[in-house]
Structure 1
Amino acid sequence: MDVSELLYVLALQNIPNLGDSTAKKLIRHLGSAEAVLKAKKESLLKIDGIGSIKLKGLHDAVHLHAAETELKYIQDNTIGYTYYQDHDYPEKLKHCNDGPILLFSRGKIDLKNKKIISVVGTRNVTIHGTAFCERFIEELAPLDPVIISGFAYGVDITTQKAAIKNKLQNIGCLAHGLNQIYPKIHSRYIEQVEENGGFFTDFWSTQAFERTNFLKRNRIIAGLSEATVVIESAEKGGSLVTADIANSYNREVFAVPGRPNDSQSRGCNNLIKSQNAHLLTSAADLVYILNWDLNNGQSVVQKQLFVELDATEQPIHRYLRENGKQQLDTIALSCDIPTYKAAGLLLEMELKGVIRPLPGKLFEAI
């Protein structure tokens, strides 16, 4: 996209009532952002679904003036940008109707042919949530996925730090322009993120940071990835909004279960109970559901999990890996373990995330 068209795309992005979905519709009909801004309002109103409220202020000169200012900032600060019709625009985000028409970036981001997941959760992450998040990212590391999060407090920054530690490409989606970082204390991680990943946002440098921006930012987190993982969440929270958006995009959603009385687990438990998320006890659950490298990658994850099994659990896990789905009685007989003891061991292994129960008293290794 040349600089001239970029100017008009910025101007279109600056119109308050328009929105990305409507902007894309207008561009499809007229062919370019420049053509939209130069078209007569009467002709635009003939397009199905386009009303006068959405077009309010369309031809105001203030939008082009603002676009000129932002364009100068982009050029002076070497800000990356990608238009929704460009070949380098994130592929999965292209399929989101309300994805940004223009996405700004900084760092060394490469999403081509990559496995991508988003990890979100509460700002008030618990010790348990932190430990799970760090272990989860470590278990996924052999598969070299790109990790997306929001760079905010709690689960977000825990995820980014775990990705940095495991040398995984990680991307922070910001709820503000690239001229600032919120919270400021996380500025210490910017260089490490940009060395292997970077930042995305659709907010301008001139836009003031507001907490309501998080809701708009969340659609990018959900849209970039093939799955969204919720580590911990209260009964209400932004991470649940992200999960809802991911579901609306027909993406997979995973949630980590917790004890019923834990306030930071209620959101996750509700997602699982309402069947709006898969239960997640380990990285192997996600690998299985997403069908990631089942012949190679999953075995790597399984080897990491295998060290958690004690001497009585290892023969059961080995038997299920070699023989596939088996009934409780068959497992007990084949492993020379009393049925009551085998049932207890299988429960422990299920909680560890290395086997899963199936209908008909069947069990299989993950």
Structure 2
Amino acid sequence: MDGDGTTGGGILGGGVDSTDTGPDPATMALLRLSMLPGLGPRTLTALLERFDTAEQVLSAGESDLAMVHGVGAKLIHTIRTASHHVDVETLVTWCHENEVTIVRQGQAGFPRSLEQMVDTPPILFVRGGMVPQDTLAISIVGTRHGSVYGLKQAERFGYALAKAGVTVISGMARGIDAAAHQGALHAAGRTIAVLGSGLGQIYPPEHKTLADSIASSGAVISEYGPDAKPRAGMFPQRNRLIAAMGVATLVIEAPDRSGALITARLACEMNRDVLALPGPVTSRTSRGCNQLIRDGARLVQTVDDVLEELGPMFEPVESGDGLTIRSGSELRLNELERDVLNAIDQTSTPIDQVIAKTQLPAYRVIATISVLEMRSLIRRLSGQYVTRI
């Protein structure tokens, strides 16, 4: 996806936000390198892998730079004259004045899901904030020209997922994206918008108010410098971040040629689940979804279908209400089911011990254990022992 993008990957900690007295030299160098024109994410990843730090890349000789795949004479000249291309001081000042945090890979506020990518952006510009519970997220995507049906469904799923404690990820585009964000906002839940432009160039411009609302209930993020205007090639590049940030990607409505299908393909390549909402066979805007289902995507009709598909987490996630979630299916549990589940260890647990811990009648515990077993959250080891999966 290299081209005129301004992102890439690296392994650096630290960062700068609006409360810092000033960025450290390593951050300044990384900003300067990341914002260079013509340096795409894969090439930047290769440079940082070869030279370890942005400072070493910027000070490298022409012959050393030329040894990196994708680095030609034009890009070498750009790197060697980097200070002429990027005004880092002005960029940092803009972020300070607009309450935008500059987050580096490896820093606490950097999404862990993005660190698994082969072309991880080393820098993210964040308005709002990301929290650990955002690990439990679903990406919702679809056409900019959504039908009444599609827009209603996007808002319905955004609302229901946010109510269940799932963070809704989307791209803040017209149509399906905006409806999904609005649904999450109406539920007073968390939502994150990933832009295909800089934070100082909100696109589409009529979504500036929406961006304000999202930033107050989650985050608006971009890998591009604040003054980066949207260009056609930036949106497919942005889509890889949307795909990576969700445990699964839900396509609400998409024609057979759609950026949403690019996101679905990227999610599949990242071993994320792809879900799709079916539509009428006569609807042009549902052809892409129906095709995804034909090709193996999970057909979903309700939010329970989505939560069931989440399955076990890579690691436990703290939900917004302080609960530890190990599987998406746990979000569907009522209070009684959750109490019984929490009384079962990940090692062999006697059912009598579960009854003692919960102080519930034996018949109710045994019935609840059967429900948890059907939802693949626990496993019976024998007639008297159970364990969490």
Q: Same fold (TM over 0.5)?
A: yes
Deviation of 1:113 (Å): 6.3
Mapped pair 1:165 → 2:199 = no
**Partner residue, 2:35:** 14
Deviation of 1:33 (Å): 0.5
Matched to 1:170, the amino acid is T
Are residues 322 and 15 of structure 1, via their aligned partners in 2, closer, same or farther at CA, if it must alter by over 3 Å? closer
**Partner residue, 1:280:** 300
Are residues 244 and 155 of structure 1, via their aligned partners in 2, closer, same or farther at CA, if it must alter by over 3 Å? same
Of residues 85-94 and 149-158 in structure 1, the stretch that sits farther from structure 2 once superposed is 85-94
Deviation of 1:262 (Å): 0.8
**Aligned mate of 1:297, from 331, 335, 345:** 331
Separation of aligned partners in 2, 1:267 and 1:8: 43
Matched to 1:176, the amino acid is S
Mapped pair 1:102 → 2:126 = no
Separation of aligned partners in 2, 1:204 and 1:188: 20
**Aligned mate of 2:224, from 186, 203, 228:** 203
Separation of aligned partners in 2, 1:83 and 1:118: 22
Instruction: Extract unaligned runs of 5+ from structure 2.
Output: 1-13, 15-22, 313-326, 338-369, 376-389
Deviation of 1:245 (Å): 1.4
Matched to 1:167, the amino acid is A
The aligned length equals 306
Contact 1:18 1:55 in 2 (8 A): no
Matched to 2:144, the amino acid is R
Contact 1:8 1:64 in 2 (8 A): no
Separation of aligned partners in 1, 2:374 and 2:105: 45
Matched to 1:233, the amino acid is A
Matched to 2:214, the amino acid is V
Normalised TM-score (structure 1): 0.76
Q: Secondary structure at the match of 1:57?
A: helix
Instruction: Extract unaligned runs of 5+ from structure 1.
Output: 304-319, 326-366
Matched to 1:52, the amino acid is G
Separation of aligned partners in 2, 1:269 and 1:295: 25
Deviation of 1:99 (Å): 2.4
**Partner residue, 1:186:** 207
Deviation of 1:79 (Å): 1.6
Matched to 2:109, the amino acid is D
1:1-366 paired onto structure 2 within 5 Å: 1=14, 2-47=23-68, 49=69, 51-52=71-72, 55-63=76-84, 65-112=86-133, 114-275=135-296, 277-291=297-311, 293=327, 296-299=330-333
Identity %, equivalent residues: 29
Q: Which deviations, in whole Å up to 9, do the C-alpha atoms of 1:167-226 show, x marking residues without a partner?
A: 111111111111132222222223322221120001112322323322222111112121
Matched to 1:121, the amino acid is G
Deviation of 1:322 (Å): 10
Are residues 321 and 61 of structure 1, via their aligned partners in 2, closer, same or farther at CA, if it must alter by over 3 Å? closer
Are residues 76 and 63 of structure 1, via their aligned partners in 2, closer, same or farther at CA, if it must alter by over 3 Å? farther
Are residues 42 and 181 of structure 1, via their aligned partners in 2, closer, same or farther at CA, if it must alter by over 3 Å? same
Of residues 127-136 and 54-63 in structure 1, the stretch that sits farther from structure 2 once superposed is 54-63
Contact 2:113 2:244 in 1 (8 A): yes
Of residues 52-61 and 97-106 in structure 1, the stretch that sits farther from structure 2 once superposed is 52-61
Q: Secondary structure at the match of 1:271?
A: helix
Separation of aligned partners in 2, 1:254 and 1:35: 43
